[in-house]
Structure 1
Amino acid sequence: MIEVAAAIIENRQGYILIARRKKGKSQEGLWEFPGGKLEPGESPEACLKRELMEEMNIEIAAYELFGVNEHDYGAVQIKLIAYRAKYLGGEIRLADHDEYRWASHAELGEYLWAPADVPFVELLGNLSAEGSGQESN
């Protein structure tokens, strides 16, 4: 099982940073909370600090465990560990994503999410169990 950390980054205005996976990546075109794979011996907090700098050119500080979700994608199983994080600075530049947004809590349900992220969106109160992973019209 691959361990992956995800950051739920809320800015001062209460918007959450989300990113869309670019073409050629697994889960391409789906939205996710940014993050990445943990390296051996690395903590989720350290992973998020490293990954967000590498992939988005921003500095963050993970401060609170939000939740853990295990998801079976068939060929690979992941354990997604989500942390609340503070945006500390940096101008966003994308490497593994083709788009990003600062979305309000109410807007989160309007996006087509990577399946492993859906439970966290639901925990944020924006998707019903019946609408998981579905784009709203």
Structure 2
Amino acid sequence: MIEVAAAIIENEQGEILIARRKKDKSQGGLWEFPGGKLEPDESVEACLKRELREEMNIEIQPYESFGVNEHDYGSVHIRLFAYKATFVRGEIVLVDHDRVEWVRPKALKAYEFAPADVKFVELLERE
């Protein structure tokens, strides 16, 4: 099982940052909450700060766990840890994604998300 962290990043307007995976990546063309794989002995918060610096050139501040979801993609089984975070600073530069958007939580259902992220989309829509 692969452990992965996802950041539910909010801006000052109450919008959430979502990112679309490049077509040549696994789950290509699907939207997700940005993040990445945890390294050995790394906390979820440290992973998210590192991954968002590496993949988007931004700084975030994780502040609250938003749950865990396990999903079996057939070839790989993941455990996804979601954390709410605030956007601190930076200009977004894309590495593994081809598009990002800031979206109101109620509008998330208009996007096709990677299966492991769907649970968190549903939770955000109910908040």
Is the TM value for this pair above 0.5?
yes
Q: 3-state SS of the aligned residue for 2:53?
A: helix
SS at match of 2:45: helix
Name the counterpart of 1:122: 122
1:91 is matched with which residue? 91
Over the aligned positions, Cα root-mean-square deviation in angstroms equals: 0.7
Report the alpha carbon displacement of residue 8 of structure 1 after superposing the two structures with TM.
0.2
Q: Which runs of 5+ in 2 are unaligned?
A: none
* Counterpart residue identity of residue 46, structure 1: A
Deviation of 1:115 (Å): 0.1
Asked if the contact 2:108–2:125 (Cα under 8 Å) also holds between the matched residues in 1, the reply is no
2:62 matched to which residue of 1? 62
Note the 1:102-121 alignment, pairs <5 A. 102-121=102-121
Distance 1:23 1:123 in 2: 27
Alpha-carbon distance in structure 2 between the residues aligned to 1:28 and 1:104: 23
Q: Give secondary structure in 2 for the equivalent of 1:124.
A: helix
Q: Deviations over 1:32-73 (max 9, x none)?
A: 000000001100000000000000000001110001000000
User: Would the aligned equivalents of 2:32 and 2:113 in 1 still touch at CA under 8 Å?
Assistant: yes
Identity of aligned residues (%): 71
* Matching of residue 34 in structure 1 with residue 69 in structure 2: no
Query: Residue 75 of structure 2 aligns to a residue in which SS?
Result: coil
CA shift for structure 1 position 125: 2.0
TM-score normalised per structure 2: 0.98
Describe the superposition over 1:69-118 as per-residue Cα deviations: whole angstroms up to 9, x where unpaired.
00000000000000000100000000000000000112101000000000
Number of aligned pairs?
126
How many Å separate the matches in 2 of 1:106 and 1:113?
14
- Which residues of structure 1 form unaligned runs of 5+? 127-137
TM-score in terms of structure 1 length: 0.91
The CA distance in 2 between the partners of 1:10 and 1:98, in whole Å, is 20
Query: Residue type of the partner of 2:30?
Result: L
User: How big is each residue's C-alpha offset from its partner over 1:19-40, in whole Å with a ceiling of 9 and x where there is no partner?
Assistant: 0000210000000000000001
Aligned residue in 1 for 2:19: 19
